[in-house]
Chains A and B, each alone.
Chain A
Amino acid sequence: MATVTLKPTRVPELIFEGYSITPDAFAGKTAAQIAALPGHEGKIHVTIGDFFAVSGDAGATAAETDIVIDGDCSRVKYIGSKMTAGTVTVNGNADMYVGGWMKGGRIHIRGNMDSFCGIQMEGGELLCDGNAGNHVGCAYRGDWRGMKGGTIRIKGSAGNDIGTFMLGGTIIIEKNAFIHVSTHAEGGTVIIKGDVEGRVGGQMVKGEMYVLGKIKFMMPGYKKVDTVEKEVDGVKATFDHYIGDLGERHPKSKGQVVYANLYLKAAA
């Protein structure tokens, strides 16, 4: 394993689009070559070296490359996007699109993340110690193919539109979320350990949702069918089991209609 360390040297005037900050782009390159990798600030072509001091050479492959960013990336987008292996650690905040379209490897953001993290993610692991913005693990705007695989864990809270059009994988929000969870989803699992404002599972076709706190406004398209004991992400509890969204089309499997399942922690 080889570690490449990036130390921020300058705050971009606009936003630095760091789509080259991935183990895949770094693999097989020296620190100097990495500094020369392209990025954009607005319409202007820039390089990683314009904003970061790079030390350490990358490993031969993405899997053998660890990237550590030592500092704040509040104005750096697309960190670890489309990566397939290796790791990226940011000791600070990150801007939008962290781990978007990622297929493998591991990203750890020690601060907060802005919106669109893990969008259309297919595999790998994305961990955030702080809060996330909106559109966690959702589909690109307009697209009907959301997150397909992998795991996103947000230790803090998240905003709205979580797991929109989700097809697979797992999203865990350890604190609260706002509105629109798993809208249009056709698979995957969303676990929210805190409270949600509302619109949970609107137009959802298939997939699982767990809410361990409260849902302030329940969707009318959900019907309680039973109460079950379940262990979710290390928490054992009794859940009210709802199916829905009854206003949406649902496929059949072995003669049975398949609904989306919402497990809401039962009142004690």
Chain B
Amino acid sequence: MASGEMIVKGGFIIDPTRKIDGDVGDVAIKDGKIVDKVSSSAKVIDAKGKIVMAGAVDVHSHVAGPKVNAGRLMRPEDKLLSGSFRSGMAQKNGYRMESGFSIPSVFKTGYDYARMGYTFVMEAAMPPLLAPHVHEEIHDTPIIDEAALPVFANNWFVMEYLQKGEVENTASYIAWLLKATKGYGVKLVNPGGTAAWAWGLNCLNLNDPVPYFEITPAEIIKGLIEANEYLGLPHSIHLHQNNLGNPGNYPDTIAALKLAEGFKARNKFGREQVMHSTHLQFHSYGGEGWKDFCSKAKEVMDYVNKQKNITIDLGCVTLDETTTMTADGPFEHHLHGLNHLKWTNVDVELETAAGIVPYIYDKNVTPNAVQWATGLELALYAKDMDRTFITTDHPNAGPFTRYPRVIKWLMSKKAREATIASMKNNDKMIGLTNIHAMDRELTLFEIAQMTRSGPAKCLGLGNVYGGLAPGMNADVGIFDLNYKNLPSDAEKIETAFQRAACFIKGGEVIVKDGEVVSHGRKKTVWVKVKMPENPQVTRDVSQAFHQGTYTVDLLNYPVREYLAPHQSVIDVNVEA
């Protein structure tokens, strides 16, 4: 069908890229792209009385790779009561069974994202050494286009170059690694802290030196911003800050955000920010301990709102039993000490580490309730929704399948109040947060900014994803909500976004009445930097492999072509 013509007729169109907010109109599709008009023989898809949005873009989600898979192996119980193991219909139609809740199988991941109208998902942390596994899993995830961000902020090469102030060498190394791993951009996870973890230490403060490397998190962050802008990559640095999850961490958060001051985005992809600060909810806490643990969303957002070169995503806690997994190894050890549940930890030589711990966000436990409020407050205090994106840091704060629930809470004070009322210690929670006093209800237009136009632009993909303008990818979601007459029952908002009435990707109908009807044509997107060879970096890399610093050979390191069979390569040219 990709080559055929199609027209989505009579829906309420919501497209922030063209400032269209609920106008009734048509979306014409030809050859997998959105076009001005189509012939009268085009297949008609009726969207009357429903809203029509571009395919959604997830800026940060852990959906593929070794730690996700380790989580699946570690938690068979996550599959027990979830998924449709034996959906007769799916089997009859040739679809795969689905399993898992917080760490769904690759099939369920693809299907569930498609059912919610998502077209692009960024795997948020790829350990470079294990990039082949990440790509294998991405390839096994049906429907959605994906890319992956290799982690750089605890990488020995990066720390050594930056310690000597060598930004150009850092940039050359980034270019080499993106190519070797088929990666998309520069991810930072607990800069320096994960490397310090190899010594049993951490870097909670921006000025805590990393042992041996004698560099600070602040220097790593600034250096990587410079290197990222030197290259002019589509995405900015993507920062998981230090001191995640701890009471009273918000001054450190603001201090890290301030490192972006004075930098200007330099790229040809329409991106305006120089720093994307991810799952900000985990970094917006006040208090000195768990007793006075409180939300500082307002203080953090006051800074974000006036600082135009920063984007953020929420990392909303959804009050579910989930599985935390991050390259922030020391944090996972700390969390295991708090809840005593099973724990996995791994070191990735020269590059990063990771840990996994199951976690139950219990609405009756006050700090969890405060976390829930903090995530939502960030969005409700945000002034520029094109710089504020909906995520749950899947699966860390909750599974991605809860995005519709987050949308419900953001769009309806009544829904928020109902959740607050159901909490055992809601008086305490209300005293530690601002959410109860906040009346703001986000509009569908704002939701479209936070899930479509905003993240697409932030990733430098605004020319093809996140909008419905002619020339863009024909990725269209139709949701059963009447723009003129939104349901008074907010549950219906959640239901509508959970299962799209129709989802078209690349001009092909993927989901019909909430059910997957096609595996579509997924793509793996990566960034290839062309720049003059840097002899020093070439020598340093080859030495690390040949002198045995790495345990693998350089020839076995890169992601082979066959592991990423459906590539969509973005070229970046760097002049000498």
Contact = CB atoms under 8 A, between A and B. Distances in A.
Contacts of B80: 140, 143
Contacts of B77: 139-143
Interface in B52-90: 74-78, 80, 86, 88
A115 B358 CA distance: 27
Contacts of B341: 144
B358 to A, nearest CB: 8
Contacts, number: 22
A235 B342 CA distance: 38
Nearest to A186: B340
Nearest to B88: A45
A224 interface: no
A143 B340 CA distance: 13
B86 A43 contact: yes
Contacts of A139: 77
Contact of A142 (B75, B86, B88, B91): B75
B91 A43 contact: yes
Interface string B87-102: 0100100000000000
A249 B341 CA distance: 12
Contacts of A144: 341-342, 358
Interface string A128-160: 000000000001111110000000000000000
Nearest to A43: B86
Given A43-B91, A45-B88, A142 B76 contact: yes
Contact of A249 (B75, B76, B340): B340
A40 interface: yes
Contacts of A249: 340
A197 to B, nearest CB: 26
Contacts of B340: 249
Contacts of B74: 142
B111 to A, nearest CB: 18
A118 to B, nearest CB: 16
A39 to B, nearest CB: 11
A40 B86 contact: yes
Nearest to A141: B76
Interface residues of A, number: 10
Contacts of B358: 144
**Most chain A beta-carbon neighbours within 10 Å: one of B75, B86, B91:** B86
A117 B78 CA distance: 20
A142 B321 CA distance: 14
Nearest to B85: A43
Nearest to B91: A43
A45 B88 CA distance: 8
A40 B75 CA distance: 25
Contacts of B76: 140-142
A249 B76 CA distance: 25
A102 B91 CA distance: 30
B51 to A, nearest CB: 37
A249 B86 CA distance: 41
A143 B360 CA distance: 13
A186 to B, nearest CB: 10
A140 B74 CA distance: 13
Contacts of A45: 86, 88
A257 to B, nearest CB: 16
Interface string B388-430: 0000000000000000000000000000000000000000000
Contacts of A40: 86
Interface in B298-351: 340-342
Nearest to B80: A140
A225 B201 CA distance: 40
A142 B86 CA distance: 22
Interface string A19-43: 0000000000000000000001001
Contacts of B342: 144
A144 B341 CA distance: 8
A249 B77 CA distance: 24
A153 B78 CA distance: 29
Nearest to A45: B88
A97 to B, nearest CB: 12
A139 B77 CA distance: 9
Interface string B350-388: 000000001000000000000000000000000000000
Nearest to B358: A144
A163 to B, nearest CB: 17
B189 to A, nearest CB: 26
A139 B358 CA distance: 16
Contacts of A143: 77, 80
A139 B76 CA distance: 12
A140 B77 CA distance: 7
Interface in A149-179: none
Contacts of B91: 43
Nearest to B341: A144
A140 B82 CA distance: 14
Interface in B520-539: none
Task: Select the residue from A45, A142, A144 with max chain B CB neighbours within 10 A.
Answer: A142
A142 B74 CA distance: 7
Interface string A34-70: 0000001001010000000000000000000000000
A95 B78 CA distance: 24
A207 to B, nearest CB: 16
A191 to B, nearest CB: 27
Nearest to B86: A43
Nearest to A17: B86
Contacts of A142: 74-78
Contacts of A140: 76-77, 80
A57 B15 CA distance: 58
Contacts of B86: 40, 43, 45
Contacts of B88: 45
A142 B78 CA distance: 8
B113 to A, nearest CB: 25
A141 B91 CA distance: 26
A163 B75 CA distance: 19
Interface string A240-260: 000000000100000000000
A40 B342 CA distance: 33
Nearest to A139: B77
Interface in A69-99: none
7 closest A-B pairs by CB:
A143-B77, A142-B76, A142-B77, A141-B76, A140-B77, A142-B75, A140-B80
6 contacts: A43-B86, A140-B76, A140-B80, A142-B74, A143-B77, A144-B342
Interface of B: 74-78, 80, 86, 88, 91, 340-342, 358
Given A40-B86, A141-B77, A143-B77, 8 more contacts: A43-B86, A43-B91, A139-B77, A142-B74, A142-B76, A142-B77, A144-B341, A249-B340
